[in-house]
Structure 1
């Protein structure tokens, strides 16, 4: 009996355990997954802003300046050039630059200068020497236009590179002037008397109003023109007489004494003038084909007593806040790439000598292969080579303009100009 009870107890315990086990429902195991962390997409960094280089430059009537700045800005990763357009009156531009440079302002990094300003600016410490730049680029001064480089050499150091060399010469209507007179003009073997006679002969042909237009306002252009009329100051009275004679014979516009380069090229391009004294840049305007007078209606000739050497040069402001950028832009502008753009787009004479034999440059610039222009290039004359050029030029302009406008005698004008040149 006792054994029976023990067995029954064991069976009861086993049955209880089985029942408990059967009542337990196994819960599914839920594994919590770690939340997916999405990394935020990196915000694209804005392109680094380029360092601004300010270029002080005279207005350009051709597409060249715009193309130069555009080309540099596209290729430079660090710098962007802004052209600050200044007046085309060279005297006013000189004073604007002088006011800025003399205050040691860094508002301009690279500056364009008339060839006669460089000595003054270099002597005053306003320009940065560029000899190291030339060495770094493997360039020699002889790689560039000699006249331009000479104008910016001071106490044995180089301070400038050429923007474009220049010279004064005559544009004439080859569709009006006879073939015989064309040959005479192109040769340069003629006098101002001959030129005046041609003016009288052709004035009024094909709707023209004036025989002659040239720069005669009281500014630097008048100094250049009197230099040419007087044969580099060898006959000041004769030069003034020729200018006055053209006015008195009504061969020039009534307001010729207000004419600068702009008025002169407008008169030529609009078909108003037979003969126009100007610089090479006008050929770039003719090449555009956008004016009444086209390039195939124009011929080129030396002035009877030679054309004034001119041109513009480039320097770095000694107080530039971005000297490395200024150097980069200067080397582009004066080097083969920039000078080629200037020559093709603006018909400017290249200051980088190797381009004078470049086929694309020669094809784009009729001047460089023209007989009359080549003769003009061989007959250039300098402006007064004096240490106080601005003062001397001012006296020349004032004296000549007063005489031509009837406010002084020719004797007084000649004396004052001679005294200024002798100082």
Structure 2
């Protein structure tokens, strides 16, 4: 297989393919090396060619570096191969668009417009062989054209059109992490990496949270279920993973991105559901396999968010999710106030389990911890009392023996007075230890 990279003397790997520097669209600007092309105005006149003939099975790797975010341009990138030598075309005669026919010149062109929404940083690979021309997007090989005429030389063609404004030739994508290389990237366990952006947090102040043991077959859990890792598999089916604790009002969840797979356009899906994931223990295959939007057809309540994470995410980014008193769920990246946005609106009277559908660029992440409103109430009172935590005392006042058994979980947390004040303060009857709803209280009589 031909290689489309070139190693320089200073060990910097550069692509061996560049843009043809004489024949390109009127609205195109090339950088000095000819590996970057940008359409600087309008939506057309962005046809470009490779600087050389492309050999069979030689792969062209191209990264999207700029897109139009105004929505004013329709249409998108077109890619393919042409038998027309770009040296035979005068730049002034070059057509505005590669489709439907490239300049009506003699020769055959095999070109396809990519209808999928393209985002910055996504890499598209395309090539041809005896079976036709193909491109790879989102980790899937798709057809450009069949029955390629292999008797004549072929040049690559990239029509930077519509909502795509800039591309650059690049080197082959790195292989996604396997579990061994994933752990070798860090000098300590990934769930114990220091908190870099939310510096006011300390692990000792955070409640531990974990992923539920029920998850998709493509995923693995490590570090006592605090790290979720997606395996490198050809096709994904049901890559669900749930957080094993529902999100209550004023809760703050913190997580960290650990591994990025550049083969995918979109980061992945986050969602929230009012159903305990334990019910899927025997019914996991009932969940939609490819498109999580199918969850809306189920009888439970589901919220699906496809744009919670943006295209700028990178490894070791830290995210905070907070559920406001009105039920709105907000996200913030790296403690940057400019990134705060509301991603979901929920019923404040219900709790929701966060879950992830890892079908995008996020291949692994870890749960840093939780700041819980109910546990803060208990922890703040503990700090003001110097009593033995194991003395069987009420965990609110730390003065009176705990005497209320919460049904059905069975935890003994409150004395009767503190139970009443706790229930007045919080709208839901929820055990501060396990977070399950309790519907009754059994009072223990003193001996």
By the TM > 0.5 criterion, same fold? no
If the length of structure 1 is used for normalisation, what is the TM-score? 0.23
- Give the structure with the larger strand fraction: 2
Higher helix share: 1
User: Whose RCO is larger (CA < 8 A, sep 6+)?
Assistant: 1
